[in-house]
Structure 1
Amino acid sequence: MPDHTLRRWLVPFLAAVAVFAADQLTKLWAYRALGPAPCNELLVNCPRQPIIGVWFDLVYVTNTGVAFGLFRNVPQLFTIIPLLICAGAAYVYVAYLPTHNRWLQVALGLVLGGGLGNVLDRLRYGYVVDFVRVGRWPVFNVADSAICVGMAIMAVYLLLNERATAPHPSAVRDDTLLNALLSEDPEAQSAEPKT
C-alpha cells in the first residue's frame, strides 16, 4: 500500500476502531448494569442509574428503529441504512474533501465507527442497544453520538470552506457579459446591438 494511501486512511481507521470499541464496551456495560429486561417506549418502570438528577440518566432500551428510536415500526430495512451512511461518508471523503485534513479524517472515523457499531447490534440482536437519556431527548448510545458529531464536523467544514471560496460581492461588478456568454441562445447574443 502506498504511503499516501496509508496516511489518508490511518486516522479514520483508528478513530473508527476507537468509536466501535467504546460503543460495544459501553453497550455491554449497559446490558450488565441496566438490562437485560428492556424498557418500553414510554420508559415506564425502567431500571435507571441517575447521573444528574432527572436531567441525565442511564436506562437500557432496545431500539428497533433508527437513530434516537425513530421509526420503530419500520421493517429491518434499517440494517442497511447505517451501511449506506458509512459508504456515503467514505465516498464524500474520497471524492470531494481534502483527505489531508485531520478534522475530516476524524469525522469520517466517527461516522464509520458509529455506523458499524449499530450495524453489528442489528445483525447480532435485531435491535440496537440504547442507554443514554438526556432531558427529554430520545435515548441514544455512543454510536449515535459519534455519527452526529462526525456529520456535524463535515457539515461545518463544508460550510466554512464554501464561504472561504465564494467570490466577494465587489469582485463581480457587471454580470452582463457573463449572462451573454452563458445564454443558451447564441443568436440572441449576436442580435444585441453593437456599440
Structure 2
Amino acid sequence: MLLVSVVALVGGLDQLTKALAVSRLTEGEPVELVPGVLDLYLLYNPGAAFSLATGLTWVLTLVAVGVVVAVALMARRLGSRAWAYALGLLLGGALGNLIDRLLREPGFGTGHVVDFLRLPRWPVFNLADSAIVVAAVLVVVLSFRGVGVDGRREPGRREHADAAADARPSSEQPSESSGQPSGGPTEEDRRG
C-alpha cells in the first residue's frame, strides 16, 4: 500500500537523520553545509515550530497523537494516489516527531524533538517538519482542485456555473444555433 510505504520512508529517514545529527553534531555549534543558505545546527526543541508552546510539551504530544488517529481514520476511505502521498507525508512526519516526544529526554511524553536544519531567518527544523509542510501544501492543492480523499472529484466553480445555467428556464437559455436566448428575436426577425 502506497500510504504505508510513504509513512515508513518518511518516518525512517527522519529517525535516521536525527540519529546522525545527535551522534555527529554538537548542540549549538553550526556546521555550514551550503554557505549562506543551509547550516546543520543541533537543537533539542521542547515546543512547536518557532519555539511556540515550549511549556506545553504534553499538549503537543496529545495533538500529535490526535493527528495520527485522524489520518489513520481518513486512510480507510483512501482512493486517490495524490491523497495517499499527502496523508503518508503527514502521518510519517507526525510519527517522526511523536517518537521524539515519547522516547527522548527529559521523559515519556515530554521529550524534546531533535531539530538540525537551519535556513537564514527561519527556525531550525527536521525532515519530519518538512514532510508535514509538503503534506499541508498537497492537502490545500487537492482540496482546491476538488479531489476528495476517496478519489472522487467534487464539483468546482466551473461545474457549479454550468449547473446553474442548466437550471435556468428554457426561455432564458441561449439557443444553440444563434447564441440568442430562446424566444427572443432572431437575425431574420431583425431584418424583417
Q: CA deviation at 1:56?
A: 1.2
Distance 1:25 1:174, change over 3 A: closer
Distance between the aligned counterparts of 2:103 and 2:82, measured in 1? 32
Alignment-mate amino acid for residue 117 of structure 1: G
Q: Secondary structure at the match of 1:100?
A: coil
Matches within 5 A, 1:149-188: 149-161=134-146, 165-166=155-156, 167-169=159-161, 171-173=163-165
User: Gapped runs of 5+ residues in structure 1?
Assistant: 1-9, 39-45, 178-195
Alignment correspondent of 1:187: none
User: Gapped runs of 5+ residues in structure 2?
Assistant: 105-110, 148-152, 170-192
- Over residues 42-71 of structure 1, what are the superposed CA-to-partner deviations in whole Å (9 max), with x where a residue is unaligned? xxxx21111222321110000000234322
User: Larger deviation: 114-123 or 69-78?
Assistant: 69-78
Alignment correspondent of 1:112: 91
What is the aligned counterpart of 2:126 among 122, 132, 141? 141
What is the aligned counterpart of 1:124 among 96, 103, 110? 103
Q: CA deviation at 1:176?
A: 9.9
4+ residue runs of structure 1 moved beyond 4 angstroms? 173-177
**Structure with bigger gyration radius:** 2
What is the aligned counterpart of 1:16 among 3, 7, 11? 7
What is the aligned counterpart of 1:71 among 53, 56, 81? 53
Alignment-mate amino acid for residue 169 of structure 1: A
Q: CA deviation at 1:174?
A: 9.7
Alignment correspondent of 1:192: none
Q: Secondary structure at the match of 1:54?
A: coil
Q: TM (normalized to structure 1)?
A: 0.71
Q: TM (normalized to structure 2)?
A: 0.72
Q: Pairwise CA RMSD of aligned residues?
A: 2.4
Total equivalences in the alignment: 156
Q: CA deviation at 1:173?
A: 4.8
Greater helix fraction, Structure 1 or Structure 2: 1
Q: Secondary structure at the match of 1:113?
A: helix
Distance between the aligned counterparts of 1:75 and 1:115, measured in 2? 14
